[in-house]
Amino acid sequence: MLHILFRRLCLGAVPALGLGLAAQAQVNPTASSVQEEALLRALQSGEAVGGRVSIPDAGASALITPDNKLWAAMQGGTLHTLSIVAVVGMLALLVLFYMMRGRIRIEAGPSGRRILRFNTIERFAHWMLAVSFIVLALTGLNLIIGKTVILPLIGESAFGTLSAWGKIAHNYLAWPFMVALVLVFLLWVIHNIPSRIDWQWIKQGGGLLKKGVHPPARKFNAGQKLVFWAVILGGAAMSWTGIMLLFPAEAATAADWQFYQIIHALVAAGMSALILGHIYIGSVGMEGAFDAMGTGEVDENWAKEHHSLWVDEVKQSTARNDAVSGAKTTPAE
C-alpha cells in the first residue's frame, strides 16, 4: 500500500519538476483553436468571419467583413472619379460642340405658323420627370462628389446642413420621379419604337454636325428615341436599385446593398451626362427646340427641318379632321 503511494508520488513529481521542459511536450489545449488567418483565407467574397453574439442584433454577429473595404474603395475612389469625369467631360464636350457648330438655327427662318407638338399632359409628364430628375441628380452628385466640389467652398457645417436637406429631397423626390417615368413611358412608347428610317438618321449623324443636312423623322428621331430608351431603362434601374437603397432591410445582405449602390451610382453618372446633352440641345443648342416643351407649339419650319414626316402626318390628320367636320356641317346648310 505504502509503496504504491510512493510510486504515485514519484511519478507525479517527475513532470512537476521538469515543468519548464515538459510544457512543449504536453498536448496543446488550443491546438484546435480557430485561427484568424485560416478563417480569413477560407472566406468567400462578401462573407464575414462571424459567430454568436449575445446582443439581440443578428447583424452584430459578423466580426470581420474584409470585402467591405472593396466597396469603400469603389465608392470613395472609382465611382467618385467616374462621376466627376462623366459630368465635367460632358460639359467640356458640349462647350466644344458649341464652339464648333454654334447654335443650330432654323435654316429657313421662323415661319410664324405654329404646330402643337406636345399637349398639356405630355408637357406635365416631361416637366415632372425633369424637375424631379434634376433635383435627384444634383443631390445625388452632391453625395458622391460634393465633398470635393462644394465642401471647400462653403465649409463643413453649411455643407452638412445642405447635404442633410439634400438627402431628404433625394428620398422623397424619388417617388414623383417614378410616377413621371411610368407616365412618360405610357405616353411616348408608341412613338419610340425603332424603325428603318432611324438608320438613315444615324448615318447622317442626325444632321447635327453639318448645316443643311436634315434626315427625315417622325415625331421622334433616332437620337430622341435613344434618349427615351436610355431614360426609361436607366430610370427603371435607378428606381429599382433606389428602392433597395431606401429599404436596406429588403436588400437582403450588406453585399447586395453594396451591389445596388454601385449600379445606382454608375447609371446615375451615365444619365447625368446624357441629360446634360439633352438639356443643351433642347435650350441653347438649337433654335426653336425649347418651344416644344415650353408652350408646346413649335414653328412649322423648325418642325419641317427636324421632323418632316411628323409634319406630314399632322397636316394629313388635320386635313382629315377638317374634312370630317366639314362633312358633318354640310347637311345643316
Partner 1 sequence: MARMRFLCDADRCIECNACVTACKNEHEVPWGINRRRVVTINDGLPGERSVSMACMHCTDAPCAAVCPVACFYTTDDGVVLHNKDTCIGCGYCSYACPFGAPQYPQMANFGTRGKMDKCTYCSGGPEPDLSAVEYQKYGANRLAEGKLPLCAEMCSTKALLAGDGDIIADIYRERVVTRGYGSGAWGWRTAYGDTVTV
- Asked if 113 and 288 count as a contact pair (C-beta separation under 8 A), the reply is no
For residue 64, give the 3-state DSSP assignment: strand
The pair phi, psi for residue 3, each rounded to 5°, is -70, -30
Minimum CB separation of residue 49 from partner 1 in Å reads 7
Distance between CA 3 and CA 57 in Å, rounded? 61
Closer to partner 1 by Cβ: residue 37 or 333: 37
- Residue 90: what residue type? M
Minimum CB separation of residue 148 from partner 1 in Å reads 9
Packing angle between helix 156-188 and helix 120-149, nearest 10 degrees?
150
CA dihedral 60, 64, 68, 72 (to 10 degrees): 100
Closer to partner 1 by Cβ: residue 144 or 281: 144
Minimum CB separation of residue 135 from partner 1 in Å reads 16
Minimum CB separation of residue 48 from partner 1 in Å reads 8
Minimum CB separation of residue 175 from partner 1 in Å reads 10
Closer to partner 1 by Cβ: residue 156 or 313: 156
Query: Which residues contribute to the site for partner 1 (CB under 8 A)?
Result: 23-24, 28, 30-37, 39-40, 49-55, 57, 59-69, 71-73, 75-77, 142-144, 146-147, 151, 156-157, 159-160, 163-164, 167-168, 171-172, 245-249, 254, 257-258, 261
Minimum CB separation of residue 32 from partner 1 in Å reads 4
- Asked if 88 and 269 count as a contact pair (C-beta separation under 8 A), the reply is no
Distance between CA 114 and CA 288 in Å, rounded? 11
Closer to partner 1 by Cβ: residue 29 or 112: 29
Closer to partner 1 by Cβ: residue 161 or 316: 161
Closer to partner 1 by Cβ: residue 58 or 190: 58
**CA-CA distances (angstroms) from residue 88 to 82, 93, 96?**
10, 9, 12
Task: Please tell me the total number of residues recorded for the chain in this structure.
Answer: 333
